[in-house]
A and B are shown apart, each in its own frame.
Chain A
Amino acid sequence: DSGVTQTPKHLITATGQRVTLRCSPRSGDLSVYWYQQSLDQGLQFLIQYYNGEERAKGNILERFSAQQFPDLHSELNLSSLELGDSALYFCASSVAFGFSGNTIYFGEGSWLTVV
């Protein structure tokens, strides 16, 4: 158990819909990262927050947005869903936002299936 909690574990929704994925980081971790994993694209970095502020953006679509709340949990909002958005979405957390000596811990992921 990494200490990173993600909900829901599985989600099936229709095209055009909107979903919210939730993440609670490990106790004491200030950084939260979101990654998308699909068979063809591998692990793709989406976005990172540190102590409530956006710190880095990766290949995140405009239809997707995220935020980190004062209690440090984070939500990833996916809207106008398309079939190609079906993937495993991971949240990860770390103490700091630099990567030297900074291990990141992954949650178990949220499986999203768009039908």
Chain B
Amino acid sequence: GQQVMQIPQYQHVQEGEDFTTYCNSSTTLSNIQWYKQRPGGHPVFLIQLVKSGEVKKQKRLTFQFGEAKKNSSLHITATQTTDVGTYFCAGPSSGGSNYKLTFGKGTLLTVNP
């Protein structure tokens, strides 16, 4: 079945440093979604990328979707302590009426103030 891999599993940075997490799918994705889960919280939708090569920005966050639509990345510029949490990518798989969202295992970001 479809697999979504994320690296790194953990990342610890000093406040102000940049951070990047990478996501790779075993299959071509129709779209990819990114979620953030704060410690003790629930996953919160951040963004969805649909087009090949698409780049979207949300303030200090930059999301990219690969040309082959099998990989994606999330880059945070100048991290802040509020960025702490686990970042998940998720890709849909569908076949007929079967839709499910497969999540990567996430990258846990910790930020040292």
Report which A residues bind B (CB closer than 8 A). 2, 33, 35, 42-43, 45, 48, 55-58, 90, 92, 97-101, 103-109
Q: Are B45 and A103 in contact (CB under 8 A)?
A: yes
Shortest beta-carbon contacts, A-B, top 4: A99-B92, A42-B105, A43-B103, A106-B42
Report which B residues bind A (CB closer than 8 A). 30-31, 33, 41-45, 48, 50, 88, 90, 92, 94, 97-106
Known: A45-B100, A108-B41. 16 other contacts (CB 8 A): A2-B44, A43-B103, A45-B102, A48-B99, A98-B99, A99-B31, A99-B33, A99-B99, A100-B30, A103-B48, A104-B45, A104-B101, A105-B45, A106-B43, A107-B42, A109-B42
Q: Given the complex, which residues of A lie within 8 Å of B94, measured CB to CB?
A: 98-99
CA distance A42 to B88 in the complex (A): 10
Q: A103-B48, A105-B45 are in contact. Are A43 and B99 (CB under 8 A)?
A: no
Would you give the shortest CB distance from A57 to chain B, in whole angstroms?
8
CA distance A48 to B100 in the complex (A): 8
Q: Are A55 and B99 in contact (CB under 8 A)?
A: yes
Q: Given the complex, which residues of B lie within 8 Å of A90, measured CB to CB?
A: 42-43
Q: Given the complex, which residues of A lie within 8 Å of B100, measured CB to CB?
A: 45, 48, 56, 58
CA distance A99 to B99 in the complex (A): 7
Would you give the shortest CB distance from A37 to chain B, in whole angstroms?
9
Q: Are A101 and B48 in contact (CB under 8 A)?
A: yes
